[in-house]
Structure 1
Amino acid sequence: MRKLFTGRFQGYSLQHFQKDLLSGLIVGVVAIPLAMSFAIASGVKPEYGIYTTCIAGIIISLFGGSKYQIGGPTGAFVPILLGIVITYGYEDLLLAGLLAGIILCLMGIFKLGSLIKFIPRPVTIGFTSGIAVIIFTGQIASFLGLTNIEKHEEFIANITEIITHIDSTNFYNVITALVCFFVILITPKILPKVPGSLVGIIISTFIATVFFSNQVPTIGTAYGTIPNTLPQFHIPEITLERIEQLIGPAFVIAMLGGIESLLSAVVADGMTNSKHNSNKELIGQGLANIVTPLFGGIPATGAIARTATNIKSGATSPMSGVIHGIFVLLTLLLLAPYASHIPLASMAPILMVVAWNMSEQKHFIHILKLKTGDSLVLLVTFLLTVFTSLTTAVEIGLILAIILFTKRMSNMLVISKVLPDHNEKLLPNVVNKAHDCPQINIYTIEGPLFFGAAQTFEQTILAKINSKPKVLILRMGKVPFIDTTGEAYFRNIVHHFKKQGGTLLISGVQPDLQSILEKDGLYAEIGEKNFFDHTGEAINYALNDLDTKKCIGCRHFAFRECTQLSQQSQEITNKEKALLLSDR
């Protein structure tokens, strides 16, 4: 246990506790309306959101990898959890959350936390903005007070439901929602340190109770009285059939939870100049999601907005997150019955504002304006999130991003024929029809030799050596790596050139690349003596391996040694001719 908290409470003092107490209370006040709103939007009772905030919030703070992380239910989970509740029911949601917790723990144990950073930003912004649209449109019915609304998983079906029942609009409901919405927007300008959502709920509830009594649906009329008791321990029924049925949704919950919690931790690092432990954070998130369902709670993750509020309020350690969870629990025990009078219309504007804030519209518009491959990835991920499912959106978004990345990387491969200029610098612009060496070809290879570029590498080199040079020098100092596909095509070049009787020389190979070539046997096939640190050494070796007879009369003068080689070859030929004549 001592290792668990090493460094997290080092030098902790009463002053630190006072700061954590204040920040924990502030975040707790912010978390209460959000917890109930997210639970209702997810298709479960509001108290389940409170349970999640208490239990998951404390566990994530104690066992997570970020000192400032505040955990709990978040808007990103709403479409997924609602879909699970509609399809399988609340009991299966608990099991899916528990399975997601196990997956998150395994991801942390196997140190997969760092892999989250490889998810492209257009994909995360795309599905986040898509989720925001789903949350916003999902609150229209509550905002307008529509009756007999049936919730669906499909976006189009939900919009159709709203249009079909638009004539059942409750104008008392609309007034209540507008009052809450207005207060949420105006409070930060008048009272910057007071949570607008809480003030909005209080004022709109008061107005609805006094002026619209029995005219506006409340939490109590829709879900019954919120119990002011501790959550009951209950183990969901676990069978192999249910696990097989829910492992897919559980994996989606785990992936989204992992992504959001680590993004939140990164935001916290930026605000505090600290460094979180990504794998430990995943384990903390996993433990929270294993324990929370046992007390009726829904899946939880790191909440970016609440974490930022925690830091701005002066938090110094995970104790603020623990205090926030305890405060929410005490509030449940003391004030739960009063929460039953909150109108559902007051909850809708809270989630609409959350959806707007999480939509990242500025980044969304910026990436679209770039009109690049990232714009396409963003748009596809966004549309698929809204019109199909988050799973499909992320899968196709990632595949599309990988394809576009592969194409960009393959375009980075540059193969150029070079020769030394008068300063002995090897440059491509020196090579022309009048200035080239028929016997020695030198090529500079720049870029990775991976599956996306390997075939281009092979075809380019083989096409360029149709003149059958005696020596081929490949300058590979700017080749960072080679994969198995690149290795296979490289081997084809080696075999082809050897068959036509040529000598292959390699210069400037980096240590990592050489290690790969040694492991796959290419280093031995090419020959250790044919590898050089510098291209100049390879050129000197090649000049000694030339067929000097072919240098006779050559006027290319590709190298500084060519003039001397041409003269020597001519002299040798003249001597040979003289000897032949004297023999006659």
Structure 2
Amino acid sequence: MNRTLARVRGLLPAAADYALLRRSWRGDLLAGVTVGIVALPLALGFGISSGAGAEAGIVTAIVAGVVAAVFGGSNVQVSGPTGAMVVVLAPIVASHGVGAVALVSILAGVIVLVAGAARLGRAVSFIPWPVIEGFTLGIAVIIFLQQVPSLTGPAPHGGSSTNVVIAAVASLLAADPGYLLWALGAVAVVAACMILLPKLHRAIPGSLVGIVLVTVLAALVPNPLAEIGALPRSLPAPTFPAFDPGTLGELALPALTVAALAAIESLLSARVAASLADTGPYDPDRELVGQGLASVAAGLFGGMPATGAIARTAVNVRSGARTRLAAVVHAAVLLLVVLVAAQPVGLIPLAALAGVLMVTAVRMVHLATVRSIVRSTRADALAFVITAIVTISVDLIVAVVIGMLVAGVFAIRSLSRATGVAREPLPGEAVAGDERIAIIRLDGPLFFAAADRVFDTVTALDGVSVVILRMSQLELVDATGAHVLSEIVRRLEARGVTVLIKGVREGHVVLFRTVGVLGALRHHKHLFAELPAALAHARSHIERERAASAD
């Protein structure tokens, strides 16, 4: 009971979360304001790209940002709408409408919350690095292509296709050339600001300056560019979205996909944040609980699912954040924008936000990382490429599963090659009859992938009367490997070959006894701890065999 209470308390906010606040509050305030400024265009842009709208994006950044900061497992994590979530939400909006987003957010939040309570936070460590980088590349490509329709004008484009490649190509074919030129000009201004201004000073928010500049120019010069439109001047009241059992069933699988993505991305972001600065350890289980609650809260306010945002979290840490106050301040800055600046924000051209997201997508891809993976091993390179391609063409979660399968197959293949099975020469001076004795050394892992090779090699022995199986170097042994060993003993004994086993590790004894390896031996004294004793016993068998043949 006490242990259960301790585990529950470990998943809840505590005073220790703010232990550094007395010394770091100034840095936290400055970091929170900085991240709030960076997050504004991203929240608006991701909301629009997902199909849920700019309002959903900024509501999510505010509500989820506060809840995840207070209840999450990282001291510096910044949460809100992200590009990866946009990739998953866009087809849900296309299939079920905007109204489904809030319900999916709540369902996914509950799933993530349960996963955290069940202590599944460490599961993300099982995803190989090439797979993570592969779907990061795929997400970056999708985010970039999702902006193309915002640049091509109001002409019909993309149809009902949820594939971003098809939608981007279709929108380009149907583009209004005049509108496209204006939109590309806006993108160029924003991109130039984002790339050049931080070089003058790191504290300059290039994306915000670029958006303000484009918005002012658009107000002064007549142009055809579409704008964000009216935004609410306050947060909406929390309400539970309407649904029926049929809708709930249809959204169950999408919600599971969203939950998986939210958990993966949030844990990866928290892990990255912990490596950027000494901000204290992060608790992966509590992080899932916090992100689950954040998505539930965002859904109740009409928002979208939230995750930890790697880019915003990195900005937070590099700006001096050390406690959760910074993420709370970031949400407060965004709330202030809604309360006092909703009208001017609504005048921002969509093409300007597209420019922000395009530059963000390009920055997600690190060429040095791509080169290192491609040049590492063929297996890792293949897992990376396949994951990226499937992410772009099919689905992110499917891509992760396929990438893990590919990586797993190659890992198993490599591991199976490490299984050694070889005949060794007998130690010491040769004795008459030694040619009838075979010492077989087994080393490395013995599991299902290598079992058949070991079986074929050992049972192919010919012209011997005694086989000594040396097992002291065997490492991992699974049930299949143990079963194959028992079959080897039975097959050889059935041919009249005496099998002696030397050096069974203590950790393998129970498995070998349960599966029948030890029981398959002709006599219980055929199990040895040392090779000299096993060899002496083998030679005694040969002596008896020679004596019997002489008679």
Instruction: Identify whether the pair has TM-score above 0.5, normalized to the shorter chain.
Output: yes
Cα displacement (A) at 1:176: 2.2
- Contact in 1 for aligned 2:482/2:511 (Cα 8 Å): no
**Which among 230, 234, 258 is matched to residue 229 of structure 1?**
234
- Tell me the equivalent position of 2:460: 463
- Tell me the equivalent position of 2:515: 520
Q: CA distance change for structure 1 residues 524 and 275 in 2, over 3 Å: closer, same or farther?
A: farther
- Tell me the equivalent position of 1:243: 248
- Contact in 2 for aligned 1:71/1:301 (Cα 8 Å): yes
**Which among 469, 486, 491 is matched to residue 491 of structure 1?**
486
CA distance in 2, matches of 1:227, 1:457: 70
- Tell me the equivalent position of 2:188: 178
- Tell me the equivalent position of 1:306: 312
- TM-score (ref. length: structure 2): 0.91
Trace 1:14-25 onto structure 2 (pairs within 5 A).
Answer: 14-25=22-33
**Which among 54, 61, 68 is matched to residue 53 of structure 1?**
61
CA distance in 1, matches of 2:188, 2:43: 21
Local SS of the residue matching 2:438: strand
Cα displacement (A) at 1:37: 0.6
- Tell me the equivalent position of 1:91: 99
Give, as a single letter, the amino acid of the residue that structure 1 aligns with 2:408: I
**Which among 270, 274, 289 is matched to residue 265 of structure 1?**
270
CA distance in 1, matches of 2:129, 2:498: 47
Cα displacement (A) at 1:547: 2.5
CA distance in 2, matches of 1:175, 1:549: 94
Cα displacement (A) at 1:488: 2.3
Residue 36 (structure 1) aligned with residue 32 (structure 2): no
- Contact in 2 for aligned 1:125/1:360 (Cα 8 Å): no
Alignment RMSD (CA, Å) = 2.6
Give, as a single letter, the amino acid of the residue that structure 2 aligns with 1:285: Q
Local SS of the residue matching 1:217: coil
Q: What are the Cα deviations for residues 59-79 of structure 1, in whole angstroms up to 9, with x where unaligned?
A: 212222222211111111122
Unaligned 5+ residue runs, structure 1?
425-430, 553-568, 577-584
Cα displacement (A) at 1:344: 0.8
Q: What are the Cα deviations for residues 291-339 of structure 1, in whole angstroms up to 9, with x where unaligned?
A: 2111111111111111111111111222222222222222211211210
Give, as a single letter, the amino acid of the residue that structure 2 aligns with 1:228: R
Trace 1:288-299 onto structure 2 (pairs within 5 A).
Answer: 288-299=294-305
Q: CA distance change for structure 1 residues 533 and 56 in 2, over 3 Å: closer, same or farther?
A: farther
Cα displacement (A) at 1:551: 9.0
CA distance in 1, matches of 2:457, 2:37: 66
Local SS of the residue matching 1:216: coil
- Tell me the equivalent position of 1:159: 168
Number of matched residues?
539
Residue 506 (structure 1) aligned with residue 498 (structure 2): no
Q: CA distance change for structure 1 residues 283 and 525 in 2, over 3 Å: closer, same or farther?
A: farther
CA distance in 1, matches of 2:346, 2:108: 31
CA distance in 1, matches of 2:16, 2:204: 29
Cα displacement (A) at 1:55: 1.3
CA distance in 2, matches of 1:64, 1:510: 44
Residue 439 (structure 1) aligned with residue 436 (structure 2): yes
Q: Does 133-142 or 339-348 show the bigger shift?
A: 133-142
CA distance in 1, matches of 2:317, 2:458: 58
CA distance in 2, matches of 1:156, 1:35: 23
Local SS of the residue matching 2:226: coil
- Tell me the equivalent position of 2:379: 373
- Contact in 2 for aligned 1:145/1:174 (Cα 8 Å): no
Give, as a single letter, the amino acid of the residue that structure 2 aligns with 1:147: A
Local SS of the residue matching 2:463: coil
- Tell me the equivalent position of 2:210: 200
Residue 482 (structure 1) aligned with residue 477 (structure 2): yes
**Which among 542, 546, 551 is matched to residue 550 of structure 1?**
546
Trace 1:340-419 onto structure 2 (pairs within 5 A).
Answer: 340-370=346-376, 372-419=378-425
CA distance in 2, matches of 1:299, 1:509: 53
Q: What are the Cα deviations for residues 235-282 of structure 1, in whole angstroms up to 9, with x where unaligned?
A: 123433223211221122112211111111111121125432222212
- Tell me the equivalent position of 2:327: 321
Cα displacement (A) at 1:362: 2.9
Q: Does 542-551 or 251-260 show the bigger shift?
A: 542-551
CA distance in 1, matches of 2:58, 2:547: 88
Q: Does 390-399 or 39-48 show the bigger shift?
A: 390-399
Q: What are the Cα deviations for residues 130-182 of structure 1, in whole angstroms up to 9, with x where unaligned?
A: 12111112212323545333463113421332232134441333322221121
Q: CA distance change for structure 1 residues 108 and 528 in 2, over 3 Å: closer, same or farther?
A: farther
**Which among 276, 279, 283 is matched to residue 289 of structure 2?**
283
- Contact in 2 for aligned 1:146/1:168 (Cα 8 Å): no
- Contact in 2 for aligned 1:268/1:308 (Cα 8 Å): yes
Q: CA distance change for structure 1 residues 24 and 386 in 2, over 3 Å: closer, same or farther?
A: same
Quote the sequence identity (%). Answer: 34
CA distance in 2, matches of 1:411, 1:436: 33
Residue 126 (structure 1) aligned with residue 131 (structure 2): no
- Contact in 1 for aligned 2:186/2:351 (Cα 8 Å): yes
Cα displacement (A) at 1:356: 0.8
Cα displacement (A) at 1:549: 5.7
Q: What are the Cα deviations for residues 30-54 of structure 1, in whole angstroms up to 9, with x where unaligned?
A: 1111100100111122111111111
Cα displacement (A) at 1:6: 4.3
Q: CA distance change for structure 1 residues 421 and 63 in 2, over 3 Å: closer, same or farther?
A: same
- Tell me the equivalent position of 1:580: none
Local SS of the residue matching 2:534: helix
- Contact in 1 for aligned 2:486/2:516 (Cα 8 Å): no
Q: What are the Cα deviations for residues 488-539 of structure 1, in whole angstroms up to 9, with x where unaligned?
A: 2222112112323443333333333223224434344447644434434433
Q: Which has the larger radius of gyration?
A: 1
- TM-score (ref. length: structure 1): 0.86
Give, as a single letter, the amino acid of the residue that structure 2 aligns with 1:204: V
Q: CA distance change for structure 1 residues 415 and 359 in 2, over 3 Å: closer, same or farther?
A: same
- Tell me the equivalent position of 2:5: none
- Tell me the equivalent position of 1:189: 199
- Contact in 2 for aligned 1:8/1:317 (Cα 8 Å): no
